[in-house]
Structure 1
Amino acid sequence: MFLRRRQSQNLQENCSEEREAKVKELRAALGPLSGRNLKFCTDACLRRYLEARNWNVNKARKMLEETLKWRSAYKPEEIRWNEVAHEGETGKVSRANFHDLFGRTVLIMRPGKQNTSSGEGNVKHLVYLLENSILNLAEGQEQMSWLIDFTGWTMNTNITIKTIREIVYVLQNHYPERLAISILYNPPKFFESIWKVIKYFLDPKTAEKVKFVYTDDKNSVEFMKSLFDVENLPSEFGGKATLNYDHEEFSRLMAQDDVKTAKFWGFDEKPFQITKSRSQAEVALSSPAL
């Protein structure tokens, strides 16, 4: 038994050494980097791209180079809340103020709160919140969790397949290995046909991270308890907390984070001043503060 344990340990060490060698090989293949590209391409980043391409250095290099081109053109780190705040007025996507039991940032999505038909606006809003969620990951944590509440969702509130494809493309190609799990909570029966279409665009590894959870299913209840503290979890997802979305308060939080983002990327930026909005909408700021 001792010999088997020792052999297993040696295999793990050899695998770790091989993977670190691939990280160095990928960095060399990328060539000299500077500015934002250098800051983006940490060893952890390179590992995520290698993992996404099954540790094939050439494929990971190609994927990462495409991301660097996309970031250079799209400039996701320069998007500020005031540019996308109108998309978030109903709280259709927001960052929760609690982590899951693994310390991962949680994004709450409520497709029933869809408030615009702009594909470009929806993608930009989500990209902003992805960047914000990454900024707020706990130390040593690389991934985030998504909670998707289908309350009030109908075919009339759905975004287009074209927009869904764009979101899937951006997530899979430019944020690889950032999603730990995506929980679809109480999706209606007719969502199954839509899921078949969405799944067609998903990488099999990404599709495996999507879990269907139902209130009246005992296994689902236990599954949620294995991932979240029920005291922090909103009642919409089987927890004991209250999900109150306050758009004005969430805007203040995002404005503060915009300053952190600017500092992280080396920008000199002053806080964006939030003015009192005329209307109150709902935001995921219900549980204990981060």
Structure 2
Amino acid sequence: MFRLWSTSHQQEDDPLNHDAKINELKAAIGPLSGRSLQFCTDACFRRYLEARNWNLGKAKKMLEETLKWRSTYKPEEIRWREVACEGETGKVYRASFRDRSGRTVLILRPGMQNTVSIDNQMRHLVYLIENAVFNLPEGQEQMAWLIDFTGWTLSTTVPVKSARDTINILQNHYPERLAVAFLYNPPRIFEAFWKIVKYFLDNKTFHKVKFVYPKNKDSVELMKQYFDEENLPIEFGGPAILNYDHEEFSKLMNQDDVKSAAFWCPDDKPPHWAHGRSGAEVAPEPVSLTPAAS
């Protein structure tokens, strides 16, 4: 039995076997055109296979559901002007720094919730996930999340249904895009909410969620393995000043919108990254929004 398990495990880790699986998934999905063709790079096929432990049937179903979702939700068509009001408080934004692996970093501050429309909140989050992916450097496919619980209360938390929808979108339509999510110093009352939400997470995503408490040395050291300490805002135990400037961030997003619109060409011509490269080379470097404290 050990020999059978060992052989199977070796096949899963075999790059040649992975390439064969990717080709099988391509054939199973069939001919694509337009934005679906742009979306389905080799790297994309790999992420969906990894998310389903290289099970071809499950990966095919997952990818087909994403293509259907993208054709109706059209996340690549959301523009900052449509969701800017959601971002006025800086409740979700792309950080001016990357993690140690060069990943894009999203900062989430649920205590800064400023609206009541769940649909608009979701579009705002999807927009920023798309933007984070768009700004990944070449060779990097994942982002990191830093979640600050300053000011969070049960009255400002999102409904459970909204949390479930968020998790569904992240897990099922952006598989293997999240590298790690650090929940920094959540209050004790968050535990009740977490006990419900965690059941919506699949096993892979669950293990990417890390709780960090300032008085817990091990959790703090774990976070420092991912981030240069001088980049971290005070709210995350670092020396930098978190100074979200909505006007400056809006300028940055509007610039990215122009580049994104050009990138998602409406015709059927394969884009310049059709061989698995990301669009990072056309995205600007983040503008500094969190200058270090002097």
Q: Smaller-chain TM-score range?
A: 0.7 to 0.9
Number of the residue aligned with 1:106 = 105
Tell me the SS of whatever aligns to 1:243: coil
Q: Distance in 2 between matches of 1:13 and 1:150?
A: 39
Greater relative CO, 1 or 2 (CA 8 Å, sep 6+): 2
Q: Contact between 2:12 and 2:54, CA under 8 Å: does it hold in 1?
A: no
Q: Contact between 1:230 and 1:240, CA under 8 Å: does it hold in 2?
A: yes
Number of the residue aligned with 2:162 = 163
Q: Distance in 1 between matches of 2:220 and 2:165?
A: 32
Number of the residue aligned with 1:56 = 55
Give 1:284 shift: 8.0
Give 1:104 shift: 0.5
Find out whether 1:286 has 2:286 as its counterpart.
no
Number of the residue aligned with 2:148 = 149
Q: Contact between 1:105 and 1:137, CA under 8 Å: does it hold in 2?
A: yes
Q: List structure 1 segments (4+ residues) > 6 angstroms apart after TM superposition.
A: none
Matches within 5 A, 1:174-185: 174-185=173-184
Number of the residue aligned with 2:30 = 31
Amino acid corresponding to residue 17 of structure 2 in structure 1 = E
Give the number of equivalent residue pairs.
Answer: 265
Give 1:40 shift: 0.2
Find out whether 1:206 has 2:205 as its counterpart.
yes
Q: Between the two proteins, what is the percent identity of the paired residues?
A: 67
Tell me the SS of whatever aligns to 1:120: helix
> What is the RMSD of the two structures over their aligned residues, measured on CA atoms?
1.9
Give 1:220 shift: 2.0
Give 1:117 shift: 1.4
Number of the residue aligned with 2:126 = 127
Matches within 5 A, 1:193-232: 193-232=192-231
Give 1:13 shift: 10
Q: Distance in 1 between matches of 2:116 and 2:12?
A: 51
Give 1:14 shift: 7.0
Residue by residue over 1:239-279, the C-alpha shift from the partner in whole angstroms, topping out at 9 and shown as x without a partner, is 111110111111000000101111211269xxxxxxxxxxx
Shift in alpha-carbon separation, 1:135–1:243, aligned structure 2, 3 A: same
Q: Contact between 1:233 and 1:287, CA under 8 Å: does it hold in 2?
A: no
Residue by residue over 1:152-184, the C-alpha shift from the partner in whole angstroms, topping out at 9 and shown as x without a partner, is 111111111111111111111100010000100
